[in-house]
Amino acid sequence: MGSLRGKETLTIGLMLFALFFGAGNLIFPPFLGQEAGVNFWPAMLGFVVTGVGLPLLTVVVISMAKDGIKEIGSKVHPVFAIVFSAAVYLSIGPFFGIPRSANVAFEMSVKPFLGESGTNSLVLLVFTLVFFTLVFWVTLNPSKMVERIGSVLTPVLLAAIVLLVISSFLKLDGSFGAVSEKYAAAPFATGFLEGYLTMDTIAALAFGIIVVGAIQQKKALERKQVVRETLKAGIIAGIGLAFVYVTVGLLGAKMASVGEYENGGTILTELAKLMFGAPGMLLLGLIVTLACFTTAVGLVAATSQFFAKMMPKVSYKTYTLVVTLVSLLIANLGLNQIISISVPVLIVLYPITIVLVILSFLDRFFKGARGVYVGAVFATTLVSVVDGLKTFGVESEGLASLLKSLPLYAEGLGWLLPALVGALAGWAFDRLVPSKELKTASE
């Protein structure tokens, strides 16, 4: 009586897979495959840790919290909870997630047919105007349409990928290409950082609430039972995501023998053309465009609902309009530019998210002491902000030389030791300076 039926768990697991599996996720594994070459497997392992393992851990942690992302952030400070939550929704929403969806649709459905035309930017503008006009209209007129399209498209998109995988295995050379400089020294760590680009760990802070709601809708369960069912659903989603990432990554590795491409979308488009000609390329582009559309609608709605709840004086419709317009403007920067701009922001947000998730998971071992959260997050933020500014081209030589002495700093994981030291310092402070406010702030 204290659990869901197997079929119900499977349904929620597939729903979670569909939430994570946006078409944008397709563009990173093949590019990793092309660049990692013979170092593909350690690089892909690192990618799967951040692209699959961390998002699923985050969903489980959200299922343990009563008030989702806000509760987790409040363990540091109520103001931090607001700022952090807003940063998460802006990242998966109008700043990166939504514009990227529109660009992936353009890259795979329209751009391949333009050739080397100099009117690409004008065509992108027209495409995004139509794309976001429809997104805005559907978001304000919610119906079962998006849900139905999504439920049909996910298996169709998976079938198309499987068909491409089988065809490429039969027709392309099976050997890996040369290793790019990026993946030569530390392929696992580089793959780990590339997994940030999926934004799934950040998105999981929002998706976890949806999963918990779906479980509770099917059966009234206690919190521990909800966590257990979330874990089961997460394992199902994780297996699906890992399969897609590995197989699509292998496609990119194989396509390295054919040519060099600027992003994963181009790799998949050229592969479809190589295997099935222009009709195959057109069909894949159409499927991905519809998948991107449903993703964009969901993200616009989620972001607008969040801000409407946080600042209710402004209407949901107004937030929807603003989110859509900002997404439209940023989308016209182009896919490669959006990815390059998002990297510094994700380098700041991801370590903070990872630390919060791990601490929430281990909360019972230090009895939710607020000092642990404050110390760990403060230290992590210092390092990750410096890393983010460095990626953006802003760097202090003195500070950079100091941080370079940190273990794993060269691999992009220099925040690990400061996070641990900060947590221990916060724990010691709580022990030495007993404070009811500090110990109960997260309750």
Instruction: List the single range of 10-24, 138-152, 243-257 with lowest mean pLDDT.
Output: 138-152
pTM value surpassing 0.75: yes
Q: What local confidence, expressed as pLDDT, does residue 149 receive?
A: 60
3-state secondary structure of 314: coil
Domains of the chain: 6-336 (1.20.1740.10), 362-443 (no CATH)
Q: What local confidence, expressed as pLDDT, does residue 442 receive?
A: 45
Whether the per-residue pLDDT at 301 is higher than 60: the answer is: yes
Question: CA nearest 402: which of 389, 391, 386, 388?
Answer: 386
Average pLDDT, the chain: 86
Task: Indicate the burial class of 59 (C-beta count within 10 angstroms; 0-12, 13-18, 19 or more).
Answer: buried
> What b/e sequence results for 31-52 when a residue is b if at least 16 CB atoms lie within 10 Å of its CB, and e otherwise?
bbbbbbbebbbbbbebbbebbb
Helices (H) and strands (E) counted in the chain, each on its own, are 19, 0
Span 337-350, average pLDDT: 90
**What secondary structure letter does DSSP report for 95?**
I
Q: What is the pLDDT of residues 50-73, one digit of tens each?
A: 999 999 999 999 998 877 788 899
